[in-house]
C-alpha cells in the first residue's frame, strides 16, 4: 500500500530500443517444397541484433486432389502443418543448438500440456483446432495460411527470451516423406468382402514458407553498453530442449520395460511425457494427432535407481479411475512455467483424445545431476497392449549453449551443479 503514497516518484520511459521490425526470410530454393525436400532459411548478416523467441514460421498452401481439383473427402487435422515436416533444426554459426525431430508429435505432446484456455483463439492462427476438431483450417477453396510461433516448436525459442547478437542464424526444415499424418479421409467407396476401400488421391502444395524474424535496434547508450560486454565475455544461453523417442511396435503383453536412452553428462532429463498410439501412423481414416490410453494401469520412470512417481498409480480407466493421471497432466504448467494451473483439456477430452502421461523428474539428487543417467520406463496395462501400438516418450532436458561474438565460437557446455555444505554449530 505504501506505493500509492509515493506521489513524488519520477516519470520514466523505456527508450532502450530505438526500432523494432519484423523481417521475412525466404529459403534458398523457393520453387521446391516437395516431400523429403530440405528447406534452408538463413539470416546471412552477422552484425544484427535478433530476437528468435518472438520469431515465427509462416506457411501458406493448398490441399487438392492430385490433378488440382478440390478435395471432398479429405481434411486437415489439428496441427497439420507441423506434421508436414519431419525435422526442424536451428543452427547458429553452422552449429546445431536445438532441433525438433518428428515435429508433428512433439508439438502435439508438448503443446497440449502447455497451452491454456486463454490461448484458444491465438493458437487457431498457428494451425490448432479445438480438441473435437469441429473447425476447419482451410477455406472453401482449400487454401490455408498458418503462422506458427517458433516457441511452439523449439525449446530454445520458448525459453531463451533475450536477443542474440552478431551471429549467423539458420533454420533447416525437412519435409515429411508423405503427408498422410496431416489429413484424415473418408472413403469414396467403402470396403466390401472382395474389394478394399477407395480414397481420393490428394496432394498438399506449399506455396510459401518463410521465417519471420524480429530485428531489434538498440539506442546509442544501450548499444555502447552491449558492445563493451560482448567483446570480452562468453554469452550463456540456457533452455530446455525437447527430444522424442519412439518404440515402434510394442509386444502384445500387459507389461513392458523400455530402456529409453543413456544421456550424456551435458544434459539430464527434467520432465517426461509418455503417449501411446494404436495404428495411427500414416492411417487414412484415423487421426494422427490423437493418442490412445490402451487401458494403462501403472507407469514408472527410472533414472538409474531413482524412480518417479514414488507411489503406484493404480489406474483403472474402464472404471473411471484416472484422476491421478489428470492431476499429473494439469500440474505440468505449474512445475514447468511456475504459473497457476489452467489446463486446456477437460477430463473427458483428456482421457478419450489425448491421454498423455506427464512425469515431473526435475527434483534429483546430486549423484544423478553429475553423472550419466540411464532412462528406463516400466509400464503395464489392464489388458495386453493392442497389436500395432507404438509408444512415444518425449524427454525434456536442460541445455546450455555458449557463444562468443568476437570469434564466432558456439558450443554446448555442461550443467554445473553446486553443492552447498552447511556446517551446524
pLDDT, tens digit, 9 for 90 and up, residues 342-397: 999 999 999 999 999 999 999 887 766 667 788 999 999 999 999 999 999 999 99
CA-to-CA distance for 226 and 234, rounded, in angstroms?
13
Which helix H or strand E contains 252, and what residues bound it? none
What is the predicted pLDDT for the residue at 191? 85
Domain covering 243-399: architecture? Sandwich (2.60)
Q: Where in the chain is the domain with CATH 2.60.120?
A: 243-399
Q: In this predicted structure, what is the pLDDT of residue 167?
A: 92
Q: How many residues does the chain have?
A: 425
State the Cα–Cα distance between residues 164 and 48, nearest whole angstrom: 8
From the list 310, 336, 313, the residue with the least C-alpha distance to 394 is 336
Spell out, as residue ranges, where the chain has pLDDT lower than 50.
417-425
What CATH number should be reported for the domain whose range is 20-237?
2.70.9.10
Closest CA to 240 of 332, 304, 175: 332
What is the number of alpha carbons within 13 Å of residue 45 lying toward its C-beta?
8
| End-to-end alpha carbon distance in the chain | 40
pLDDT at 412: 85
Of the candidates 315, 281, 284, the one whose C-alpha atom is nearest the C-alpha of residue 297 is: 315
Query: How far from 40 is each of 34, 80, 262, CA to CA, in Å?
Result: 13, 21, 31
Q: For 122-201, list the strands marked E by DSSP.
A: 143-149, 164-165, 169-175, 183-185
Q: What is the pLDDT of residue 417?
A: 46
Give the whole-angstrom CA distance, residue 395 versus residue 384. Answer: 25
Torsion, Cα 263 265 270 274, to 10 degrees, reads 0
For the chain, give every residue range classified as CATH 2.70.9.10: 20-237
- Report phi then psi at 244, rounded to 5: -105, 135
Amino acid at each position: 500500500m505504501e506505493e500509492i503514497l509515493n506521489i513524488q516518484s519520477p516519470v520514466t520511459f523505456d527508450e532502450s530500443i530505438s526500432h523494432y521490425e519484423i523481417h521475412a526470410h525466404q529459403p534458398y530454393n523457393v520453387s521446391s517444397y516437395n516431400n523429403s525436400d530440405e528447406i534452408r532459411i538463413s539470416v546471412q548478416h552477422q552484425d544484427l541484433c535478433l530476437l528468435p523467441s518472438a520469431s515465427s514460421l509462416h506457411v501458406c498452401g493448398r490441399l487438392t486432389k492430385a490433378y488440382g481439383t478440390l478435395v471432398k473427402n479429405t481434411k486437415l487435422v489439428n496441427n497439420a502443418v507441423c506434421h508436414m515436416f519431419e525435422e526442424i533444426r536451428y543452427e547458429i554459426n553452422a552449429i546445431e543448438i536445438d532441433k525438433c525431430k518428428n515435429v508433428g508429435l512433439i508439438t502435439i505432446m508438448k503443446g497440449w500440456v502447455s497451452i491454456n484456455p486463454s490461448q484458444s483463439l491465438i493458437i487457431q492462427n498457428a494451425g490448432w483446432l479445438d480438441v473435437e476438431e469441429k473447425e476447419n483450417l482451410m477455406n472453401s477453396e482449400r487454401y490455408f495460411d498458418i503462422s506458427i510461433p517458433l516457441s511452439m516448436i523449439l525449446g530454445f525459442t520458448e525459453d531463451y527470451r533475450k536477443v542474440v547478437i552478431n551471429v549467423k542464424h539458420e533454420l533447416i526444415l525437412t519435409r515429411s516423406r508423405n503427408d498422410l499424418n496431416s489429413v484424415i479421409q473418408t472413403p469414396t467407396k467403402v470396403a466390401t468382402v472382395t474389394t478394399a476401400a477407395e480414397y481420393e488421391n490428394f496432394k498438399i502444395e506449399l506455396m510459401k514458407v518463410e521465417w519471420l524474424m524480429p530485428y531489434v535496434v538498440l539506442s546509442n547508450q544501450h548499444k555502447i553498453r552491449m558492445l563493451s560486454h560482448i567483446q570480452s565475455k562468453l554469452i550463456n544461453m540456457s533452455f530446455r530442449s525437447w527430444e522424442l523417442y519412439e518404440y515402434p511396435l510394442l509386444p502384445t503383453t500387459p507389461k513392458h520395460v523400455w530402456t529409453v536412452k543413456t544421456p550424456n553428462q551435458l544434459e539430464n532429463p527434467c520432465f517426461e511425457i509418455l503417449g501411446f498410439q494404436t495404428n495411427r501412423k500414416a492411417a487414412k481414416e484415423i487421426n494422427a494427432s490423437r493418442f490412445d490410453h490402451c487401458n494403462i494401469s501403472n507407469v514408472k520412470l527410472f533414472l538409474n535407481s531413482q524412480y518417479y512417481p514414488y507411489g503406484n498409480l493404480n489406474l483403472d480407466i474402464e472404471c473411471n479411475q484416472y484422476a491421478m493421471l489428470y492431476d499429473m497432466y494439469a500440474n505440468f504448467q505449474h512445475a514447468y512455467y511456475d504459473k497457476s494451473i489452467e489446463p486446456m483439456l477437460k477430463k473427458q477430452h483428456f482421457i478419450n483424445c489425448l491421454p498423455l502421461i506427464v512425469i515431473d523428474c526435475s527434483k534429483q539428487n546430486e549423484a544423478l545431476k553429475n553423472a550419466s543417467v540411464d532412462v528406463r520406463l516400466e509400464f503395464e496395462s489392464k489388458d495386453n497392449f493392442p497389436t500395432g501400438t507404438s509408444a512415444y516418450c518425449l524427454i525434456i532436458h536442460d541445455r546450455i549453449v555458449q557463444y562468443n561474438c568476437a570469434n564466432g565460437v558456439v558450443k554446448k557446455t555442461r550443467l554445473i551443479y553446486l553443492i552447498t555444505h552447511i556446517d551446524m554449530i
